[in-house]
């Protein structure tokens, strides 16, 4: 749940990286932490086991653009992917604003991907939230490996809802599309946030909208 603070002029958002065990959620955060300007981030907090498996969550606070004098603060979390830690996943999902579902592209991980996505829907439902209400994008990670499913298959399996979301071919270990997917979900989130405003829109959005050409033009076009 985002919070807008007019005194400190900040808006806070929570983005959760969700996906099966060992799909690369922590690697995403690790890459962002290493590559983003240190002035725009806090420490990466990782609550992991001795074998580097996420036990509780990873957490990385980021500052993004200043919009109309307000600093947008994004808090990135990962969930533990292992099946037994479902209670922890429910906790991390609390007050979520946006999500990145990280799928492992390897054929043998397909069942785990599907189970994890279903688990995400179930855990959101426990908070009375439908996944369609939350801005999210999908990452197809580990595209550098050999035994991977083609993207159209992954789309069919994991992104086949009524409203398809943006998806990215990612190699989180090298950073391919790591920032692109984060930027995509952040922008969808901010647009949704802006639409929830009560304030009258001052100016129309500069997005290009196809307009019916005037009748005269239409006639000439058909000649």
Q: How far is the CB of 73 from other proteins (least distance, A)?
A: 8
Q: How far is the CB of 125 from other proteins (least distance, A)?
A: 15
If the CB atoms of residues 206 and 214 are measured against other proteins, the closer one turns out to be 206
If the CB atoms of residues 146 and 198 are measured against other proteins, the closer one turns out to be 198
Q: How far is the CB of 81 from other proteins (least distance, A)?
A: 17
- Alpha-carbon distance values, 40 to 108, 121, 206 (Å): 38, 32, 28
- Alpha-carbon distance values, 7 to 37, 71, 113, 193 (Å): 26, 12, 42, 19
If the CB atoms of residues 53 and 175 are measured against other proteins, the closer one turns out to be 175
The binding site for other proteins (CB under 8 A) comprises 1-8, 11-12, 14, 32, 35-37, 40, 42-43, 45, 47, 56-57, 59, 61-62, 64-65, 67-68, 70, 72-75, 77, 87-88, 91-92, 94-97, 133, 175, 179, 182-183, 186-187, 190-194, 196-199, 201-203, 205-207
Q: How far is the CB of 86 from other proteins (least distance, A)?
A: 12
If the CB atoms of residues 95 and 173 are measured against other proteins, the closer one turns out to be 95
Q: How far is the CB of 77 from other proteins (least distance, A)?
A: 8
Q: How far is the CB of 138 from other proteins (least distance, A)?
A: 18
If the CB atoms of residues 162 and 201 are measured against other proteins, the closer one turns out to be 201
If the CB atoms of residues 106 and 187 are measured against other proteins, the closer one turns out to be 187
Beta bridge partner(s), residue 13 = 74
Of 173, 218, 186, 193, which is closest to residue 27 (Cα–Cα)? 173
């Amino acid at each position: 749940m985002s919070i807008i603070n007019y005194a400190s002029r900040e808006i806070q958002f929570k983005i959760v990286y969700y996906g099966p065990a060992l799909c690369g959620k922590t690697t995403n955060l690790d890459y962002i932490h290493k590559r983003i300007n240190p002035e725009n981030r806090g420490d990466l907090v990782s609550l992991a086991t001795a074998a580097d498996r996420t036990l509780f969550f990873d957490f990385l606070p980021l500052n993004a653009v200043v919009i109309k004098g307000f600093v947008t603060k994004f808090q990135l979390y990962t969930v533990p992917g292992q099946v037994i830690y479902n209670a922890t996943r429910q906790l991390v999902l609390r007050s979520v604003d946006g999500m990145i579902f990280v799928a492992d592209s390897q054929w043998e991980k397909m069942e785990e991907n599907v189970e994890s996505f279903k688990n995400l829907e179930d855990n959101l439902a426990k908070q009375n939230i439908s996944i369609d209400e939350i801005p999210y994008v999908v990452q197809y990670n580990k595209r550098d490996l050999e035994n991977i499913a083609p993207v159209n298959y992954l789309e069919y399996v994991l992104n086949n809802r009524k409203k398809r979301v943006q998806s990215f071919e990612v190699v989180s270990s090298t950073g391919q599309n790591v920032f692109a997917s984060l930027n995509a979900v952040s922008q969808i989130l901010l647009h949704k946030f802006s639409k929830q405003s009560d304030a009258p829109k001052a100016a129309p959005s500069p997005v290009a909208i196809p307009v019916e050409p005037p009748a005269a033009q239409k006639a000439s076009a058909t000649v």
